Chain A
Amino acid sequence: MSRILDATAPATRLAALRIVVGTFVVVYLVGRLPVFLALGDRPAADFDGVGVLAPLGSPPSAGVLTAVAAAAFVSGIASTLGWRYRPNAVVFAVAMLFLTTLRGSWGQLLHFENLMVLQLVVLAASPAAEAWSLDARRAAMWDGPEEGADSARYGWPLAVVGLVTITTYVVTGIAKLRYGGLGWMSGDTLQNHIAYTAARLDLLGGNPAVFAEFAVRQAWILGPLAAGAVIVELSAPVVLLGRRCRNIWVIAAWLMHVGIFLTMAIGFPSPLFGVAFAPFFALERAPAWLRRRVARDRPALSR
């Protein structure tokens, strides 16, 4: 617990996470905008509000939906740039929570966007724009440049964002043992899930996953993979134990998502693009690392 409560980091690390998560969610929003806006055309009779929309008896109008999507886009860009961060980050998180909750409010709960939205909510409550932001630039004009000392002020929110990722994976692992039992790890259940997903896509006129048939045919590999998936999910807290444990776990979790995508055509965007794991890394070092790489490669290129 002290690794979370006493975690320290420079302001730039939290700022880098703000930029990474904000950019990812804005791009995601733009990419899925037709899907979100199409929710306004759905029959009201099919609406079954969940989460924060559970009290609603009918879906919001198309006009409200468009306004929320526009607010999400504008506040998303503003908060990513760190301009008037707190109000914009709150609007961004609430708007994305609204849109993604609405998407799951038609009789089919979706689980692709949970982690992304939860990370946004925690970030909105954090001082993530005290460096590398328009707010910080404005403040520096009045108060002088920001000091770069590590502080729990920035390290603890980062640790909480990471904790959201860790807890999500642990809960997912618990679900497999709770609903599927130890038998889930035998591989038969995983084979049937892969086959079910492929058959469902096939019947709906879609294309089954690239490796679905291969996985179902080579069923012997599914037992170890199923057990491995549960172990990866339940062992997520090991990322707190140090750099090596963190790296091994993140690679294993990422490979698990790649495997899910290749065998079931189900993509969890935030983990697949690494954003879910971003709070575990010193992202603020990336620009300097890139500069060194460019400087090292430049003489080689000029030869």
Chain B
Amino acid sequence: MRDTPALNRRARGAITLAVIAVLVSPVAFDRDSFPLSTYPMYSSSRGSESTLVTAQGVTADGSTRELSPTLIGDSDDPLVVVGRLRAALSAGRGDVRCTEIAERVEARTSYVDVVVIEIVSERHDTVARTLGEDSLVEREVRSSCEVSRT
């Protein structure tokens, strides 16, 4: 093991340049992947209004109830939850995802008042929402399904 000599300087230089080239290749090709990335998160310009996708519970009297990330996306990571929701909607599988959420809600006694699940796109003034002010600009129901209460 210790008999192996250190690489010569030229070899070290070639490998070092190759490592740098590999790490910056996503920038050159403008292609984000994993683990080689352009790290585009939060780098784009963003206005104060944004469209957010989520799922909500609707009670018998028509009021809405927030659901937890675990109920919506079977994960505690909001990025994963939103990603899965978006992926399902863009693949035309919103109804399937809605049913999955309804099944998770059905199993929770604390959500016994929820009778319908809605997957919605909501446009908010996010700055106003963070400051606790009225923020909803637009709301579109993308998918809806009933929670079985047998």
Contact = CB atoms under 8 A, between A and B. Distances in A.
B66 A164 contact: no
A117 interface: yes
B52 A203 contact: yes
Contact of A191 (B54, B87, B127): B127
A158 B115 CA distance: 58
A160 interface: yes
Interface residues of A, number: 79
In the complex, which range does the number of interface residues on chain B fall in? Answer: 35 or more
B6 A152 contact: yes
B45 A171 contact: no
Nearest to A125: B15
Contacts of A172: 39, 43
Given A5-B9, A189-B45, A213-B130, A175 B38 contact: yes
Given A167-B23, A191-B127, A151 B32 contact: no
Given A192-B48, A195-B126, A143 B2 contact: yes
A21 to B, nearest CB: 15
A156 B84 contact: no
B34 to A, nearest CB: 4
Contacts of B66: 203-205
B45 A97 contact: no
A35 B77 contact: yes
A171 B80 contact: no
16 contacts: A5-B13, A54-B33, A100-B34, A106-B84, A107-B84, A108-B84, A114-B35, A118-B23, A179-B45, A192-B47, A194-B130, A199-B126, A200-B82, A203-B52, A203-B124, A206-B68
